[in-house]
Each structure stands twice: as C-alpha cells, then as structure tokens.
Amino acid sequence: HVPYEGDLPNCSVCSKTIGKMRRHHCRFCGRCVCAPCSQSSIQLPGQSRPQRACSLCVQGAQSAPLVQIRLERLAGRLAGLSTGGGFEEPAPGGDQQARGLAEATEFCESAMRPLEDSYREAMRRMAMLEAGLTEEAQCRRAAEAEAGVAKEGLCRLGERLRELRGRAGG
C-alpha cells in the first residue's frame, strides 16, 4: 500500500484547485489528484478491480517498456566500462534482458559497483600522487634555496680570490 498525500487543496499533477467531492488519490503513487488527472484505472496485483491511477503514473506505465530497454542498454554500457570493454553501445537484445524495470535497475546497480570501487581507488591513488607532488615541490624549493646560498657563497669566494690576486700581483 502506497502512503497517500493528505487532502490537499490543489491537484498534485495540474495544480488546479480541487473541490471536496472531486478529490482522489492515485493508488500507485499516492498523489492527491483531481478527477481530470485521474481518469484511468489500472489492474494491480492482489486487487479484484482496476484501481484509479493519475495521468503521471499512466504515462510512466506506458513508457515502461522503453525505459526498460534503455536501462538494459545502460547496464550493458556500465558493465563494459567496468570490464575494460569501453564505451560501445551493446547490441539490442544482448546479454542482459530484464524481466521488468526493477530487474533492469538491479542490472544497472550491479554494473555500477565495480565502477564505484574503481573510482574510489583512483581517488585514493590521486591523493597519494598529489601528496607526492607536494613533497617533491617542497624538496625542489629547498634544493633551489640551497643552490642559491651555494651560488652566493661561490660568488663571494670568487670576489675574494680576485681581491687576493689583485693584492698579490700589485
């Protein structure tokens, strides 16, 4: 049983004001809807009669076969990425044919797990590389500073040697 919205003053589909006697609840999603937005009925498992359905749920039910195909293809693409197969679009009627939207969604969720694991591992490696680059940059700055000090020392030594040569020769 789907939890119903409260008795709202406006239709949850079209937003028009609902009169007290014309208020209905969709048996699929529980939305509070007006009569024009709930003209269809659909047979639900376990119910003896077709049940009232809002126009959004009817539209969703009508598009379910196409959505299922799209989810199956998405699952195939995700699986291809996780196994290194690349971005190729799987052939229609390929390996994974679902027995409904729920199973097609499960295929996608299953195909996502290895990708999420790979992403986490890539982020961990990237953090390690960034830490290494930061350390390397600090070492480089320290070496450059030491080189600058050494250069100054060599320049002073060269000046001192010139002074000494000048005194010795003059």
* 113-157 tens-digit pLDDT: 999 999 999 999 999 999 999 999 999 999 999 999 999 999 999
pTM of the model: 0.59
Q: What are the residue ranges spanned by the domains of the chain? A: 1-53, 64-165
Surface-to-core class of residue 51, CB atoms within 10 Å of its CB (0-12 exposed, 13-18 middle, 19+ buried): middle
Name the fold adopted by 1-53.
Answer: Herpes Virus-1 (3.30.40)
Total count of residues recorded for the chain: 170
